[in-house]
């Protein structure tokens, strides 16, 4: 059946060249790899505190390697019924070192809010037309991290017992708009465009039901939404920045559907053909093909049309460049000069004991063992001080003598610690020593040495963190850039701003003001605040550069008496 001509608003891109006597050219499908080289590589550097050359890096490489799959482990192919997020950290790995090559730049402004939404692409077309393959080719050609591929197959409605029986006998129409949960699709896409974390259902076509565990997607600079009814809902159309219709010959679609349903969904040939003639083909004629007129671009021959895909990618690159945010560190540094410190800041009382410990860890002649010992003592005091800001309620208990005691108990649900790697990792033992069974999450943020911007490389957060009080830990905060990004990540995961506690061993006034200005309800807690940073945005007088070796206590290459060396490697 010939396709109707596209409207003037939907240019039909030319079909791909074909060799004489051959069918349309279809390049071999490129495999999706777990690791990609994205230009100039940058070695992960620690942020804030003392640093010792040589052994500490190699001895603590596992602190980053533990976040990643083993070298040589391949990724399982993506099932068509699931959505995915391309947020795995681009990296290069050797036996001793992990090198991150790209990360997600800031998606928010100096106010901590997202000024521009993620770029959303809709891919429509008939069943088995090659939408998913085209989406993968666009992702690979874009060559940018943090791309979310959202499949409409994930959003089939939950079937009743009667409907499940019909589906088992190929008598349920999965190719009708009523089969999809459009309300959930719209709300999910809205949250993704706003930079929020979302939970996406996973549909199992063998049992015709949603699986118990939903998939979490987060961190979208680009969203690719694909499905047969991608253009069937008016509200959904308004959320899409680009609409692409993949037009493939009906015979090819039938062959692909036979192969897919038999091999992946446990169907038989007779059942597939019956369902195709009864539901799939009529639905294409009635609901899917007419949506071609609302598409911005029509791609004939699907994944075989590399010319069309290249043109689409070029347009998307220009759109992403227009949406890119630029950070001005100098403006950030001067924005709050001479302002009083915010009321949300709490500094550990400067007793003679606290001053004495600061004197020891700031002294360049201090041995490594002493620096580790007194830093841990200060961290323990800092955690204890922070816990006093948690909500408590009255309670009555009975003593061993049988008497009532009117006391206090924690009024929240749970406490979760989140460390900003790598330096924030040094504070985890102190938190675990004070809070029993505390859950720990990690966020890896590094500074781009070329742009000076923080970049998000990796995150692993506990489930249902939105109900918890979150203690966010970083050893030092100078500009506040990394802390702001970490807070933004927590807010995107629906953690209330007033439930976030930012803890740091040492802060600069600039960092305190930056975080408090962007997030006025975040509680900021530290043991000391230094007044200034130098031209390299390092805290003055500061304490040097902290290293995760603090947690292990492993001696450096010069033995336990090796003095700390060097300033902080990057502003945080």
- 337 in the same domain as 316: no
Identify the domain boundary among 269, 289, 323. 323
Give residue 14's pLDDT: 54
105: Cα separation from own chain's centroid = 11
- 361 in the same domain as 248: no
CATH of the domain at 431: 3.40.50.2020
Separation between Cα atoms, residue 261 and residue 269, nearest integer Å: 9
Under the banding of pLDDT at 50, 70 and 90, the label for residue 534 is confident
Examine the pLDDT at 238 and tell me if it is beyond 70: yes
- 377 in the same domain as 312: no
- 305 in the same domain as 364: no
Examine the pLDDT at 15 and tell me if it is beyond 60: no
Q: Tell me the average pLDDT of the chain.
A: 78
- 430 in the same domain as 503: yes
Separation between Cα atoms, residue 505 and residue 417, nearest integer Å: 15
- 266 in the same domain as 357: no
In the chain, the number of structural domains is 2
Give the CA diameter of the chain. 97
Give residue 11's pLDDT: 55
Residue 32 domain flag: no
Residue 414 domain flag: yes
- 250 in the same domain as 174: yes
Lowest mean pLDDT across 177-186, 290-299, 329-338, 496-505: 329-338
Burial group, residue 571, by CB count within 10 angstroms (0-12, 13-18, 19+): buried
Separation between Cα atoms, residue 294 and residue 307, nearest integer Å: 22
Residue 53 domain flag: no
pLDDT average, residue stretch 548-556: 44
Under the banding of pLDDT at 50, 70 and 90, the label for residue 124 is very high
Examine the pLDDT at 2 and tell me if it is beyond 60: no
Residue 77 domain flag: no
> Residues 392-421: pLDDT tens digits?
999 999 999 999 999 999 999 999 999 999
- 343 in the same domain as 307: no
Phi-psi category of 286—alpha, beta or left, where left has phi over 0 and alpha has psi -120 to 50? alpha
Lowest mean pLDDT across 270-274, 521-525, 529-533, 556-560: 556-560
Give residue 332's pLDDT: 56
> Residues 75-97: pLDDT tens digits?
443 333 445 554 444 444 444 44
Identify the domain boundary among 323, 339, 369. 323
CATH of the domain at 213: 3.40.50.300
Alpha helix stretches (DSSP H) within 388-447:
428-434
- 276 in the same domain as 133: yes
* DSSP strand pairing (242-247 vs 297-300): parallel
- 200 in the same domain as 154: yes
Q: Give the up-direction half-sphere exposure of residue 569: CA atoms within 13 A in the CB hemisphere.
A: 20
Give residue 95's pLDDT: 45
For 210-217, the CB contacts below 8 A with 24+ separation are 210/156, 210/158, 215/82, 215/83, 215/84, 215/154, 217/83, 217/84, 217/85, 217/148, 217/150, 217/192
- 426 in the same domain as 351: yes
Residue 568 domain flag: no
Range of the domain at 417: 330-552
- 293 in the same domain as 201: yes
Residue 496 domain flag: yes
Which residue, 516, 521, 512, is CA-closest to 572? 512
Contacts of 178 (CB under 8 A, 6+ apart): 157
* Ranges 60-69, 101-110, 495-504, most confident: 495-504
């Amino acid at each position: 059946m010939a396709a109707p001509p596209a409207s003037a608003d939907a240019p039909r891109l030319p079909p791909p060249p074909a060799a004489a006597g051959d069918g349309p050219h279809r390049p071999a499908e490129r495999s999706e790899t777990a690791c990609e080289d994205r230009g100039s590589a940058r070695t992960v550097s620690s942020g804030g505190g003392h640093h010792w050359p040589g052994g500490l890096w190699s001895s603590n490489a596992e602190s980053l390697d533990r976040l990643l799959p083993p070298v040589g482990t391949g990724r399982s192919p993506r099932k068509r019924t699931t959505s995915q997020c391309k947020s795995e950290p681009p990296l290069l790995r050797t036996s001793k070192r992990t090198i991150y090559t790209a990360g997600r730049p800031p998606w928010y402004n100096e106010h901590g809010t997202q000024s521009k939404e993620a770029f959303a692409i809709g891919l429509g077309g008939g069943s088995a037309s090659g939408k998913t393959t085209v989406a993968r080719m666009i992702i690979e050609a874009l060559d940018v991290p943090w791309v979310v591929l959202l499949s409409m197959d994930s959003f089939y409605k939950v079937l009743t017992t009667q409907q499940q029986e019909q589906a088992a006998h190929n008598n349920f129409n999965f190719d009708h708009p009523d089969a999809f949960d459009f309300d959930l699709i719209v709300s999910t896409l809205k949250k993704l465009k706003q930079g929020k974390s979302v939970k996406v259902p996973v549909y199992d076509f063998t049992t015709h039901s949603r699986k118990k565990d939903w998939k979490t997607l987060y961190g979208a600079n680009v969203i690719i939404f694909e499905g047969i009814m991608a253009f069937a809902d008016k509200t959904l159309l308004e959320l899409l920045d680009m609409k692409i219709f993949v037009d493939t010959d009906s015979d090819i679609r039938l062959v692909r559907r036979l192969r897919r349903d038999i091999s992946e969904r446990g169907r038989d040939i007779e059942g597939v053909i019956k369902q195709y003639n009864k539901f799939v083909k009529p639905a294409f004629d009635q609901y899917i093909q007419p949506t071609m007129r609302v598409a911005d671009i029509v791609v004939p021959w699907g994944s075989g049309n590399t010319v069309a895909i290249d043109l689409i990618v070029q347009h998307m690159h220009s759109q992403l460049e227009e949406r890119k945010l630029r950070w001005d560190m100098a403006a950030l540094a001067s924005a709050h000069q001479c302002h009083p410190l915010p009321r949300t800041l709490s500094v550990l009382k400067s007793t003679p004991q606290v001053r004495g410990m600061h004197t020891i860890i700031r002294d360049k002649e201090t041995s490594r063992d002493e620096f580790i010992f007194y830093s841990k003592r200060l961290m323990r005091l800092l955690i204890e001080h922070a816990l006093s800001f948690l909500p408590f309620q009255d309670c009555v208990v009975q003593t061993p003598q049988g008497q009532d005691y009117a006391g206090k108990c924690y009024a929240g649900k749970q406490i979760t610690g989140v460390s900003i790697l790598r330096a924030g990792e040094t504070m985890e033992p102190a938190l675990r020593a004070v809070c029993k069974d505390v859950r720990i999450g990690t966020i890896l943020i590094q500074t781009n040495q070329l742009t000076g911007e923080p970049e998000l490389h990796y995150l692993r957060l506990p489930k249902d963190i939105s109900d918890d009080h979150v203690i966010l830990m970083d050893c030092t905060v100078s500009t506040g850039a990394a802390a702001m990004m970490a807070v933004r990540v927590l807010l995107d995961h629906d953690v209330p701003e007033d439930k976030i506690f930012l803890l740091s061993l040492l802060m600069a006034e600039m960092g305190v003001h930056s975080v408090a200005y962007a997030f006025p309800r975040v509680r900021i807690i530290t043991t000391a605040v230094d007044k200034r940073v130098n031209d390299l945005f390092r805290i003055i007088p500061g304490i040097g550069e902290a290293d995760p070796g603090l947690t292990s206590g492993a001696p450096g290459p010069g033995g336990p008496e090796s003095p700390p060396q060097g300033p902080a490697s990057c502003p945080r």
